[in-house]
Amino acid sequence: LRNIQVPKRASYIRVILLELSRIASHLLWLGPFMADIGAQTPFFYIFRERELVYDLFEAATGMRMMHNYFRIGGVAADLPHGWIDKCLDFCDYFLTGVAEYQKLITRNPIFLERVEGVGIIGGEEAINWGLSGPMLRASGIQWDLRKVDHYECYDEFDWEVQWQKEGDSLARYLILISEMTESIKIIQQALEGIPGGPYENLEIRCFDRVRDLQWNDFEYRFITKKPSP
């Protein structure tokens, strides 16, 4: 909104943490989803991996949840020594975990019988109901804010928008599984190419009370750059 420049290193760190948050969120959905349809074993495996993501959050931000890590102009602190190697190790391990999920869940005929063709939401319905994220993309809408809005440094990485056209529970499951794999791809690229330099814009500490009065007002409005689909 104010054209504040974020240092490249801070932008890379933000992307890494955002994608780790995406993985944690998807795992939080996937575990109870599997329990709801009668599959208890995957639930425990899934939450095992989720705890590893929280370990990375705690090491980087000091908190497992409610991190308060992003700041106007950057992030609160630089990544600690050894964190990048720890995160790379997690990425390698987690890919084997996703393969394990595929083996336990995706090819299971009982699972397929309980989710395929169930809870179908068409593309037009998804838009009219205001759905977003994986729910929207599972209904055949290839719309991802990371691609549309070009925010942070997502355009510098090689990744694809994951989508399905069936709109059923199976499609939503497949979206989340494939998105976690894409998130790992993004994280690995960011970790391997993260630049040096500052992690915050030191010139942006606070808004001037007189010159930037509107940004200190509680009633300011955010203006979106791109329309919804």
At residue 38, the 3 state secondary structure works out as coil
Which pLDDT score is estimated for 225? Answer: 42
Q: How many residues does this entry show for the chain?
A: 229
Count CB atoms within 10 A of the CB of residue 207: 14
Task: Kindly indicate the confidence band of residue 104, based on its pLDDT and cuts at 50, 70 and 90.
Answer: confident
With residue 70 as reference, give the H or E element that holds it. strand 70-71
Mind listing the pLDDT tens digit for each residue in 3-36?
A: 778 899 999 999 999 999 999 999 999 999 999 9
Which pLDDT score is estimated for 66? Answer: 83
| Pairwise CA distance, residues 162 & 133, whole Å | 10
- In the block, tokens 């009370």 appear at 209
CA atoms within 13 A on the CB side of 195: 12
What domains can be seen in the chain, in order of their start residue? Answer: 8-216 (1.10.645.10)
**Quick one: average pLDDT of 81-95?**
96
116 CA to centre of own chain: 25
186 CA to centre of own chain: 10
Mind listing the pLDDT tens digit for each residue in 149-192?
A: 888 999 999 999 999 999 999 999 999 999 999 999 999 999 99
- Which amino acid appears at position 157 of this protein? F
Count CB atoms within 10 A of the CB of residue 141: 21
